[in-house]
Structure 1
Amino acid sequence: MPVSSLERLDALMASPATRSKRMLVIANPYATTMSDPLKDLVHHALRRRYEVEAVDTQRRGHATDLSRDAAAAGYDVVVAFGGDGTVNEVANGLVGSQTPLSVLPGGATNVYCRMLGIPNDVVDATEHLLDLADDLRPRAVDVASVNGRTFTFSAGVGLDASVVRLVDEHPRLKARLGPWYFAQAGISTFLRHYLVRPPRLAVRTADGRTLAGVSAFVQNAAPYTYFRRRPVHLADDAGLDSGEVTGVVLTRAGPLDIPTVIFRALSDRARIARHSKMETFQGRDLRVVSTDERPLPVQVDGDYIGDHSEAVFSVAPGALRVVA
């Protein structure tokens, strides 16, 4: 019989208790893989090596307020326990401070957690944090922002943000079907909004380039996301310490274009940035503007943040400290 996560956490708690570092664990109680028994056992296991305070989020933006207060109070590390939306909120509260972020995976995809090299299994990730207790060694990584909202790994203007908006309207289907619901939402969004008269936008870079298209994908790090276990690579050369964002513009979204774009996105060898309907860009500052007077949907780290006529991007090199 396979050993359950709860039994494995019980085993972790058998180790001797030594505490020196102050840790705040901010948990999203509604995250995809979260349960009260699992959460409680994780907290108890971490208390073997840390002075742990654990708080559940109660509203949108709550994790940002909690992490900002923790930084002001001098906590040694703040742990985001949830999905990428929770990580994003915690990062927004810690950016520019000396208090580092770490992650325990609790969502459906956990892109930033995996990107940092933290195990995507909550028990393995808990054990990893216990192993780091005596030597946290935070490192500085870049963050980017759009219209003042910090993001850790990716943002999108147009098609993918429209998909995220639709998925966010049906959280139960998102939790139950995971990436397959994203795929279905993507097909539905394309057929309804992009097959005929798609929105038009332009990416304007600091060096004077203007790239026209129907959707823009911006990366602070790679990959852009995951489809189950497979990384989805869009822009080449994206990195957490590059000092720039990197991205691609989808110049056209015809019915014959999208299947080949999807194939390249999921392929181990074919690079989407080299697709004939993609153009690449990079820089420290850039703007994405609507060119047909229709506001454009925007998402950051997989969360829809509204429709905007203009999306202004910038990079803050080394502005976030992480423990991984």
Structure 2
Amino acid sequence: MKELLFIVNPIAGKGAALNSVPLIESFCKQRHFKYEIVKTQYKGHATALAKDVSSSSYDAVVAVGGDGTVMEVANGLVGSSIPMGILPTGTGNDLSKSLNIPSKIDQALSIIAYGKPKYIDAISYGNGYFFNVASVGFDAEIARDIQKIKRWIPGKAAYYVSVFLKFITYKHKDVVVEIDDTKISTKILLFAVANGTYYGGGMLVNPKGSIDDGYIDAILITPVPRFKFPFLFWKFVSGKYLDLPYVRTYKCKEVKVFSKENLPVNGDGDIITTTPVQFSVSSRAILVLC
């Protein structure tokens, strides 16, 4: 008999995660699964809860929420033999897209019940791990500022409004990046460190990426002329931008980013640290049901 722990972020997806609880209960009862549902109470609580059960008899620990909730639960399970399940009930749900986990709750529950676990990589950044995409520059500043905008504008509309405002005000950043043994001094529009393929609520940032190949995909985008940016934005959204002259890509094991100012670093949708920062890939770091 399966035994499952569901860690629910009650504010994820404007209550969508909380609203999924009756569906979870019904699903488990119909299949005679043992289950427990715990609601998070503060930032970092999901990590603490997952760490507490990392040596228990649970068959899976399920993150019920968005990318932030998934990242917290995954940080608690790194190195554990207990797989993580995902019920994508947040706003962006980018890691679940990278893992081909469906957005419909009943279908995602079926994967938790009957799916097979696979190992995926994690990328360390000093204080923890992220599992999808981290970045410095244009989009990291959007991630920093979007929380204010969400007070007035809900859902994905807040992201696109943030993009527009940042397009008007953004100043390109001077950075030094070390990609394995290659050192580059440059101005950037943004610099992404990718494990998965999607971010920003479905933007295909890393179309050639693999979440379990043991490598980091580093994507360096130098300044794009402001007048061209609106016409090229669709390329960034659809993953068709890799052939642009402003873009360079690298496959590597380690990345360091330095700058004179402490730039925000966006990881899996949250600001996780500031520069300087070092990223290293941890191969086969966590089991995920997908």
In the superposition, the TM-score normalised over structure 2's length comes to: 0.91
Which of 30, 35, 57 is 1:52 aligned to? Answer: 35
Following superposition, the deviation at residue 37 of structure 1 comes to 4.7
Partners of 1:82 and 1:142 in 2: CA distance: 21
Task: State the one-letter code of the partner of 2:104.
Answer: D
Alignment match, 2:262: 295
1:2-151 correspondence to structure 2 within 5 Å: 20-32=1-13, 33-34=15-16, 36-49=18-31, 50-130=33-113, 132=114, 136-151=115-130
Larger RCO: Structure 1 or Structure 2 (Cα < 8 Å, ≥ 6 residues apart)? 2
What secondary structure sits across from 2:53 in the alignment?
Answer: helix
Q: Specify the structure having the higher radius of gyration (Cα).
A: 1
In structure 1, stretches of 5+ residues that fail to align are: 1-19
Q: Which amino acid aligns with 1:276?
A: P
Q: Mean alpha-carbon deviation: is it higher for 249-258 or for 101-110?
A: 249-258
The one-letter code sitting in structure 2 at the alignment partner of 1:202 is V
Bigger mean CA offset, 23-32 vs 117-126: 117-126
Q: Secondary structure at the match of 1:113?
A: helix
Q: Write the deviation string for residues 203-226 of structure 1: whole angstroms up to 9, x where unpaired.
A: 211122425232211110213444
Distance (Å, rounded) in 2 between the aligned partners of 1:43 and 1:93: 24
> Which residue of structure 1 aligns with residue 241 of structure 2?
272
Are the aligned partners of 1:211 and 1:249 in contact in 2 as well (CA < 8 Å)? no
1:29–1:58 distance in 2 versus 1, CA, 3 Å: same
Look up the match of 1:154: 133
- Give TM-score scaled by structure 1 length: 0.82
1:43, CA displacement in angstroms? Answer: 2.5
| RMSD between aligned residues | 2.0
User: For the residues of structure 1 that align with 2:150 and 2:53, how far apart are their CA atoms?
Assistant: 29
Counterparts in 2 of 1:106 and 1:275: CA distance versus 1, 3 Å: same
List gaps (5 residues or longer) in structure 2.
Answer: none
1:241-298: CA deviation from partner (whole Å, max 9, x where unpaired): 1111102112114313422441211347xx21221112212211110111xx211111
Aligned to 1:221: 196
Residue 40 of structure 1: CA displacement?
2.6
Identity %: 30
Query: Matches of 1:108 and 1:21 in 2, distance apart?
Result: 29
**Counterpart Cα distance in 2 of 1:266 and 1:37:** 30
Whether the 8 Å CA contact 1:64–1:90 is kept in 2: the answer is: yes
User: How many residues are paired up?
Assistant: 287
1:234-249 map, 5 Å: 234-249=205-220
Tell me the amino acid that sits aligned with residue 269 of structure 2. Answer: G
- Which residue in 2 is equivalent to 1:316? 282
User: Aligned partners of 1:281, 1:273: CA distance in 2, in Å?
Assistant: 11
Instruction: Report the 3-state secondary structure (helix = DSSP H, G, I; strand = E; otherwise coil) of the residue aligned with 1:99.
Output: coil
Residue 204 of structure 1 aligns with an amino acid whose one-letter code is E
Could you tell me which amino acid in structure 1 is paired with residue 60 of structure 2?
V
Taking a change above 3 Å as real, the CA distance of residues 225 and 239 of structure 1, as seen in their structure-2 partners, is farther
CA distance in 2, matches of 1:294, 1:238: 30
